[in-house]
């Protein structure tokens, strides 16, 4: 057993504190990873604050993990000590249901095992990446391309795959007009990835404050959603809209920006229900859909795609003592564009 150092939180209004957590002895197929960097996803904040319902504390969040393999179980074939690897939002699934067979482990019919705030197959609570080590079964470990630094790789494991998967599924590519709503951690990755896929990308942000960055990431246009003319001007424009916003927004207003047969996909996960005026759907056979991370095979495909296209998130590396302040800044949308914890400071 490895005793890992970690940062844990004890309740919705509590600050992060130093902690020690046990990582299980390696099973035949387990990989021990020394975590080097862990991204801060807005989902960590929703979970730590109990936005999505009760969670068990102490909680160690973190599902954007990048590190180095230090030891492998006797039956491991895919990885060896020294390999550069990542772990995303899930660490296991049943492996037997239809969805697992189809490579959609995130939609495992028995429920995937989330990297933190879940329960593993031994009945133990899972604890995430704000820590120095983690043990994960080899099938849920990803390989990081050589040309991506570990600190920049970390956010790809959630922000990267969560945007790559719907862009891929809804065929973003040449000839397609894609809009990204909200340019935070997920949003800025959506812009870069959709652009690399060949789509014509627009950003719909509340203000024009981040316009220069958006254009640099690959957007061709950038609009402020607080300006009512934006919605008049862009009515019926987009084939695909990816909504990354962490709060409730007026979905029907955005649906009106879709073309005939266009789709708006929600990856943002606010706790409050979103209202939809069905007339904004039925008038032009539009769809309103959702998408959750991506499967393991697709996550590797995304990492390789980012390696080939030189796509990395724009990050701010922080020390573990800064987590509380980083959470505040994410809640104030004051992040460009992902905080990544240097776990050597834990």
268 binds ligand NAP (CB under 6 A): yes
List the interface residues with ligand NAP, window 110-139 (CB under 6 A).
none
Map tokens 């992902």 to a residue: 338
Tokens of 54: 């009760």
The binder of ligand NAP chosen from 154, 293, 296, 306 (CB under 6 A): 293
247 binding ligand NAP? (CB under 6 A): yes
Burial class of 140 by CB neighbour count within 10 A (0 to 12, 13 to 18, 19+): buried
CA-CA-CA-CA torsion sign (290, 295, 300, 304): negative
Residue ranges with strand state E in the chain: 2-8, 17-23, 30-39, 65-72, 84-87, 90-92, 113-114, 133-137, 142-143, 177-181, 200-205, 221-224, 238-243, 258-266, 287-290, 315-318, 338-342
Rule CB under 5 A: say whether 43 interacts with Zn ion: yes
Which lies closer to ligand NAP via its Cβ, residue 78 or residue 336? 336
Reported residue count of the chain is 346
155 binds ligand NAP (CB under 6 A): no
- Taking CB under 6 A as the rule, does residue 41 contact ligand NAP? yes
Q: Which of 301, 336, 334, 330 is nearest to 315 (CA)?
A: 336
Residue 202 in contact with ligand NAP, rule: CB under 6 A: no
| Residues in binding contact with ligand NAP, number by CB under 6 A | 29
Binding partner of residue 326 among ligand NAP, Zn ion, none, CB cut-off 5 to 8 Å per kind: none
Q: Which of 129, 184, 262, 295 binds ligand NAP (CB under 6 A)?
A: 184
**According to the binding rule CB under 5 A, does residue 181 interact with Zn ion?**
no
Check residue 186 for interaction with ligand NAP (CB under 6 A). yes
Q: How far, in Å, are 13, 22, 262, 283 from residue 135 at the CA level?
A: 29, 10, 42, 50
Out of 253, 292, 317, 318, the only residue in the binding site for ligand NAP (CB under 6 A) is 292
Instruction: Give which of Zn ion, ligand NAP, none residue 336 binds (C-beta under 5 to 8 Å, depending on kind).
Output: none
By CB under 5 A, residue 165 contacts Zn ion: no
* Alpha-carbon Rg for the chain in angstroms: 20
Interacting residues with ligand NAP (CB under 6 A): 41-43, 46, 158, 162, 182-187, 205-206, 244-247, 249, 267-270, 291-293, 330, 333, 335
């Amino acid at each position: 057993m490895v005793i890992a150092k970690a940062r844990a939180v004890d309740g919705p209004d509590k600050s992060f504190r130093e902690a020690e957590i046990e990582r299980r002895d390696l099973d035949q197929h387990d990989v021990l990873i020394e975590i080097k960097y862990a991204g801060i996803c807005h989902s960590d904040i929703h979970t730590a604050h109990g936005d999505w319902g009760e969670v068990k504390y102490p909680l160690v969040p973190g599902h954007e993990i990048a590190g180095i393999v230090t030891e492998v179980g006797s039956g491991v074939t895919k990885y060896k000590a020294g390999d550069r690897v990542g772990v995303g939002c899930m660490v296991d699934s049943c492996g037997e249901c239809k969805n697992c067979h189809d490579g959609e482990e995130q939609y495992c019919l028995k429920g995937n095992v989330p990297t933190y705030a879940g329960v593993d197959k031994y009945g133990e609570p899972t604890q995430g990446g704000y820590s120095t080590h983690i043990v994960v079964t080899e099938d849920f470990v990803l390989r990081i391309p050589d040309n991506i630094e570990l600190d920049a790789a970390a956010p790809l494991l959630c922000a990267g795959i969560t945007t790559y998967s719907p862009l891929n599924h809804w065929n973003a590519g040449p000839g397609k007009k894609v809009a990204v709503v909200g340019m935070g951690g997920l949003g800025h990755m959506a812009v870069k990835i959709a652009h690399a896929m060949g789509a014509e990308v627009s950003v719909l942000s509340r203000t024009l404050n981040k316009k220069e960055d958006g254009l640099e990431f690959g957007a061709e246009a950038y609009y402020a959603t607080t300006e009512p003319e934006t919605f008049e001007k862009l009515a019926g424009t987009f084939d695909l809209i990816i909504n990354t916003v962490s709060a409730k927004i007026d979905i029907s207003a955005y649906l009106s920006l879709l073309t005939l047969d266009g789709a708006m996909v929600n990856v943002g996960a606010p706790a409050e229900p979103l209202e939809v005026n069905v007339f904004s759907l039925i008038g032009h056979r539009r769809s309103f859909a959702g998408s959750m991370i991506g499967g393991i095979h697709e996550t590797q495909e995304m990492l390789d795609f980012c390696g080939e296209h030189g796509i990395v998130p724009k990050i701010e590396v922080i020390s573990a003592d800064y987590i509380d302040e980083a959470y505040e800044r994410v809640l104030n949308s004051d992040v460009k564009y992902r905080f990544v914890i240097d776990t050597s400071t834990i």
